[in-house]
Amino acid sequence: RLGQSRFLQILPGIKYHLPPAPRKHNPYATSEEEFKKIILDHPEENLLQVLTSHFMGIDELLAEKIVEESVDASPLKPLPREHLWKGFKSVLGVISANEISPHLILDSEQKPVGISLFDLNSVPEEQKISFRNLNQALQKLFSLEIEQRQGSRKLQTLISVTRNGIEKLKKTEEKLKKELSSLEDAQAYKKYGDLLLNHLSEIKRGAEYSELTDYSTTEHKKIRLSLDPSLSPKKNVEAYFKKYQK
């Protein structure tokens, strides 16, 4: 019936509105509690679907590696859904440390399927090619795509698209690096705000810094946090949380 959805109506004189994009979670900003809730709240989806559908930047190949890592880390078979967290955290840690092992994945006819950041145990050896870095894997992927279209009148267009694709991927890589750095800074501000809040009674008004013990580290490191002497201890805590929320 007319009037039920402002997104689906395509009629003369009626403005069409794009449906809202599905909300996906930032994997680096998702806590263990949030992750397990997402996983358990969607029992109708298999393990690969729930990872690719609800987290940004996770495709089927990356989801497969997360499941592999989780299965290896869990003594329980079949794998309980909530045990995906171990593999999830492990894989993200490897990516953050740039310790990836790029592989070009091929189908049974040796045609490229995509690029995996890891060596997948489920893929036969003859259907994957390892590379020292991601750029080499991308170049090989695009060159194979070009070879498959040799003789086509669209070859020159494809070469141009390939070059543009590489440039876009480089820009995306730089953008992701900046976003990751920003996210890490934000998490640091939250940590410092929490630390000050837990030691609020120890902070003197007018102090320019406060040296506090971080008990979340194994060596109980001392952290020296700068303070605004014109602000009260509580306002200094709020200042750190404001930086986290930006």
Q: What is the pLDDT of residues 48-61, one digit of tens each?
A: 999 999 999 899 99
Mean pLDDT computed over 113-128: 92
pTM (two decimals): 0.51
202 pLDDT above the threshold of 60: yes
The residue behind tokens 């989806």 is: 45
Among 17-21, 23-27, 102-106, the least confident range: 17-21
The pair of structure tokens assigned to 31 is 């806590």
The residues facing 103 across adjacent strands are 116, 130
Q: Residue 124 has what pLDDT? A: 93
240 pLDDT above the threshold of 80: no
Q: Residue 171 has what pLDDT? A: 84
Percent of the chain with pLDDT over 90: 33
Rounded to 10 degrees, the C-alpha dihedral 93/97/98/100 comes to: -40
> Of residues 8 and 167, which shows the higher confidence score?
167
31 pLDDT above the threshold of 60: yes
Confidence of residue 186 (pLDDT cuts 50, 70, 90): low
Among 14-23, 50-59, 168-177, the least confident range: 14-23
Q: How many residues does the chain have?
A: 246
Which amino acid does the sequence have at 58?
I
Strand ranges (E), 112-206: 112-116, 128-130
Task: Give CA angle at 94 (167, 85), nearest 5°.
Answer: 120
Q: Residue 135 has what pLDDT? A: 92
Confidence of residue 4 (pLDDT cuts 50, 70, 90): very low
28 pLDDT above the threshold of 50: yes
Q: Residue 55 has what pLDDT? A: 94
Confidence of residue 191 (pLDDT cuts 50, 70, 90): confident
- Write down the H helix ranges in 10-112: 32-40, 47-54, 60-73, 84-96
Q: Residue 74 has what pLDDT? A: 72
> Of residues 215 and 63, which shows the higher confidence score?
63
